[in-house]
Structure 1
Amino acid sequence: MSGLVVLAELTLPGTLCSVRHARLFLRDTLVPGHLAAGDEALDDMTLVVDELAANGVRHTGSGRGGKISIALLAGPEVLRAEVSDDGADGARPVLRKASTGETGRGLHIVDALASCWGYRPDGVRTTVWADFRR
């Protein structure tokens, strides 16, 4: 999507503790300049970043001593969150059949909350992005 401007970027260690920092980074960056505290879009974006960061740590090289990176971008009609990880040996994020267990629902949450989402391979790294209408 053209017309997006990077608001902020952050790189964190590939640990589950970093997921909390990713959520706080999103809130600190977007409130009050882009979204208001308590705004449903802020809550949706926070949950999506949480899911993407956790997936990056759990399912890629990021969780084996690597890093995750979060970028927040803005355009006239959209806010975008991107989470980059150290890759999963060529595996790409896909929306699978919904699970009834405790795992396997993360991308379904992303799909339900974001106006659109996708991924792009960046060499070994993978970036998953999600857009939210302003």
Structure 2
Amino acid sequence: MSVREIAQVEEPLMWRRVFPGRVEQVRNVRQLVAVLLADEPCVDDVVLAASELFGNACAHTRSGEPGGLVVVDVRKGHGGAAIAVTDQGGATEPRCGQADGLGERGRGLLIVQATAAGWSWYGDQTARTVTAVFR
């Protein structure tokens, strides 16, 4: 189910919140998603994806610089949910990489890809949005 399909479902719900682009805010992002989607079977996967996408925005874009911001959108419709994270852009594009052995880096989008029904991104060096859709 795509974000467009969720948006076309009868009575879809959407919430948006802007967070400072600091890694310490990941906890608040997780809590927000968990509360908003508490009755969805996919809530744990969406919370995990939100955490990974927010962390990537802080680590790899201008959103992680002093004064940077990250926008988190949560969408819910019958049969699905979606998380979209918009950052302030940067020099690199989102892509599934390779994990660095036993290290902690390189797994974020691999995890999103493994848990979501689909994911995509759009934007450029000034702003990018990464969206993951769940059934």
Which 4+ residue blocks in structure 1 deviate beyond 4 angstroms? none
SS in 1 for 2:75: strand
Give the C-alpha shift of residue 6 in structure 1: 4.6
SS in 1 for 2:25: helix
- Normalised by the size of structure 1, how large is the TM-score? 0.86
Q: Distance in 1 between matches of 2:125 and 2:110?
A: 26
Aligned counterpart, 2:96: 95
Say whether the 8 Å CA contact 2:99–2:107 is kept in structure 1: yes
Deviations 1:9-55 (A, max 9, x none): 11010101111111111012122xx42xxx4x111111110000000
Gaps of 5+ in 1: none
Say whether the 8 Å CA contact 1:6–1:71 is kept in structure 2: no
Q: Distance in 2 between matches of 1:77 and 1:124?
A: 33
Q: CA RMSD in A?
A: 1.7
Q: Distance in 1 between matches of 2:112 and 2:21?
A: 20
Say whether the 8 Å CA contact 1:62–1:86 is kept in structure 2: yes
Amino acid paired to 2:59: R
Amino acid paired to 2:95: V
Aligned counterpart, 1:26: 33
Aligned counterpart, 1:76: 78
Aligned counterpart, 2:49: 48
- Normalised by the size of structure 2, how large is the TM-score? 0.85
Say whether the 8 Å CA contact 1:71–1:83 is kept in structure 2: yes
Give the C-alpha shift of residue 124 in structure 1: 1.2
Gaps of 5+ in 2: none
